[in-house]
Amino acid sequence: MSDTPHTHAAVAPETPRRAREAHAHLPPVVRLDGICKSFGKVRANHDITLDIRPGCIKALLGENGAGKSTLMSILAGKLRQDSGSIIVDGTPTVFASPRDALRAGIGMVYQHFMLVDSMTVAENVLLGQSPHMLLRPARMRDEVAALAERYGLAVEPAARVGGLSMGERQRVEILKLLYRDSRVLILDEPTAVLTPRETDQLFEAMWRMADQGKALVFISHKLQEVLTVADEIAILRRGEVVDEFSEADVPNQTVLANRMVGRDVVLQVDAKRLAPVDTVLSVEHLSGPGLSDVSLTVRRGEIVAIAGVAGNGQKELVEAICGLARPEAGEVRILGRPWREFFAGPPGRRGLAYIPEDRQGLATCRQLDLVDNFLLTTRNLFAKGVFLDRAEAVNAVKRVVWEYNVQPGDITASARALSGGNLQKLVIGREFFRKPEVIVAENPTQGLDISATEEVWGRLLEARSTAGVLLVTGDLNEALELADRIAVMYRGRFIDVFDKDDAAKVQAIGLMMAGVRPDEPDEPDEADKAGEPDEADKAGEPDELGDPDQKDEAETPA
């Protein structure tokens, strides 16, 4: 067990890591040796060798589909490698299940949390772990509180998980592993669901865990975060480790990005401004469940981005605009027509295109082929009386598939044969085929790799010449690259709507996403910058997103 309390606490208070060298002399906890794994013909991992050392944060950097998650699922016992071995403490070990890996001290925090919403934090942490037949709730809470305190993972042990924010849930997941004395903690894209502030708190907790001798693996495709938090960086590309850097020799962001994708990628796009013309979408004082007094206009020739952490009313706003939910109070006008009138007519010729975030569930039907999927929203364009001109549609799909480079281009294949990126290209091709004048795109590049992202971005910018675009995104970079104006959403309202050229406001987006207006920094503990993590800013205070109403005890006896 390398979990020794560190004794180097006061060495360098200005750096976030206090005991980086404390565990440097120790041998690796885990060594992955020549791991290979294929799914059918797809080679997910090929001959990967990695050392994971105590007290060290190792970043696995790579695009979507580079094999990061596969590799870590193998290490966590969820998948079995085809060849190669996992060496724990110098002994080759076979994991038949995640249970075996957990027993060996290796645990993973998955992107989809494995938590029981109706149970308390303490119950979730002790699930399957309690040493006693009978549970003692008060003692469970104390134990969890002590553990949370030790690693700076603030969370209320008696709270029900269902009422917690994403950041808090993540802390519960980490606490579960810590409670089991896990020595290796694997975090799979942990920042995807966090606010900038929560991200900082997570990084601090990670440093704290590393200082106490834990080995951490941080899976990410976000360069900036990797550079901030990691001690060592391994770059995965197409299932192979193409580079490994230690803290001392980490190159700059551009070099890292190039190594990651294997060619020069311009992460900046050329977003020349167009002169906005007429207003195509206007939302005035829209309120309802999850929304309060939202006002916004989108003009032809511009992209308006709504930035914010998911779950702050974006979904409700999009549903109201796209006709999926009736606006309760306030007004929505699309192409000059009131909501009710606009959505009263038949779909298809409406001029509003919706590119949903859930491209597998909402945008397409998995079982249908590409032509049928294409016809889902364009069928009116191919209608001949009550019949569909399918031959015409087939030609159109072929053109779109070619023009948007959808791979594989077999239009008789069902939609599920397509990867997320290719499906997205098909959806965008389909929606743009209708020549929309209003485009609502919801996280259009989520889960796409860099080249597909670039393509989608290019299409959206192109579309400005004939349409107004409302871009809902959780990716700040995307908002900054594409948008002419940015609205920051928090808890159902816009904190601010401003022009991208307003440097001061752009600087403060992180704070706004956490609900702080830059002009009124009333809460002192919220006032610190969301950029660099700050040692003084302990991850101590409970998250404001937590729901205090959820603390009632379990069922009562008869």
Partner 1 sequence: MDMDTALLLSILAATVQSGTPILYATLGEMFTERSGVLNLGVEGMMIVGAFTAFLATHLTGNPWAGVLAAGLCGGGLSLLHGVVCLVFQGNQVVSGLALTILGLGLADFLGTPYVGITTTGFQAFAVPVLADIPVLGTIFFRHDALVYLSYLLPPLFWLFMARTRAGLALRAAGEHPAAASAAGLSPVRIRWCGIFTGGFLAGLGGAYLSLAYTHLWTNNMTSGRGWIAVALVIFAFWRPGRAVFGAYLFGGVMALQLRLQAMGANLPSSLMLMLPYALTVLVLLASSARGGGRAAPAALGVNIEPEE
Q: In the bound complex, what is the minimum distance in angstroms from residue 60's beta carbon to partner 1? A: 20
Binding to partner 1 by residue 123, rule CB under 8 A? yes
| Kind and range of the H or E run holding 117 | none
Least separation in angstroms between CB 147 and partner 1: 16
Which contiguous run of DSSP H or E holds residue 219? strand 215-220
Determine if 114 is a binding residue for partner 1 (CB under 8 A): yes
C-beta of 125 vs 353, nearer to partner 1: 125
Q: How far is the CB of 389 from partner 1 (least distance, A)?
A: 39
The Cα-based distances of 197 to 504, 515, 529 in angstroms read 19, 11, 9
Give the nearer residue to partner 1 in terms of CB position, either 111 or 465: 111
- Which is nearer to partner 1, 9 or 135 (by Cβ)? 135
Of 148 and 335, nearer to partner 1 (C-beta) is: 148
**Alpha-carbon gap, residue 27 to 90, rounded angstroms:** 9
Tell me the site size for partner 1, rule CB under 8 A.
Answer: 32
Q: How far is the CB of 164 from partner 1 (least distance, A)?
A: 14
Query: Does 44 sit near partner 1 (CB under 8 A)?
Result: no
Nearer to partner 1, 169 or 299 (CB): 169
For the CB of residue 460, give the shortest distance to partner 1 in the complex, in Å: 36
* Contact pick of 40, 346, 385, 557 for partner 1 (by CB under 8 A): 557
| 72-101 binders of partner 1 (CB under 8 A) | 78-79, 97-99
Site for partner 1 in 127-146 (CB under 8 A): 127-130, 132-135, 137
| CA pair distance 6, 13, nearest whole angstrom | 14
Q: Which is nearer to partner 1, 141 or 430 (CB)?
A: 141
Question: Closer CB to partner 1, residue 113 or residue 374?
Answer: 113
- Residue 480: phi and psi, rounded to 5, are -70, -35
How many of the other CB atoms lie within 10 Å of CB of 286? 24
DSSP state of 514: T
Query: Tokens in use for 250?
Result: 């980490």
Among the listed ranges 108-116, 261-269, 349-357, 418-426, the one in contact with partner 1 (CB under 8 A) is 108-116
Burial (0-12, 13-18, 19+ Cβ within 10 Å), 347: middle
38 binds partner 1 (CB under 8 A): no
- The conformation of residue 544, written as its DSSP 8-state character, comes to T
CB atoms within 10 A of CB 413: 12
Residue 159-198 contact track with partner 1, rule CB under 8 A, x = bound: -----------------x----------------------
On whether the CB atoms of residues 451 and 405 are closer than 8 A, the answer is no
∠ CA 400-63-478, nearest 5°, is: 70
Residue 343 · residue 421 · CB < 8 Å: no
Q: Which of 36, 87, 119, 480 binds partner 1 (CB under 8 A)?
A: 119
Cα 392–Cα 398–Cα 401 angle in degrees, nearest 5: 140
Least distance CB 142 / partner 1 (angstroms): 17
Shortest distance (Å) from residue 114 CB to partner 1: 4
Query: In the numeric block, which tokens belong to residue 76?
Result: 């966590």
Shortest approach of partner 1 to residue 250 CB, angstroms?
A: 33
Quote the Cα angle for 215-202-158, to 5°: 105
The verdict on 547 binding partner 1 (CB under 8 A) reads: no
Name the token pair of 346.
């038949």
Q: What are phi and psi of 218, to 5 degrees?
A: -115, 110
Chain residues binding partner 1 by CB under 8 A are 78-79, 97-99, 102-103, 110, 114-119, 123-124, 126-130, 132-135, 137, 176, 554-558
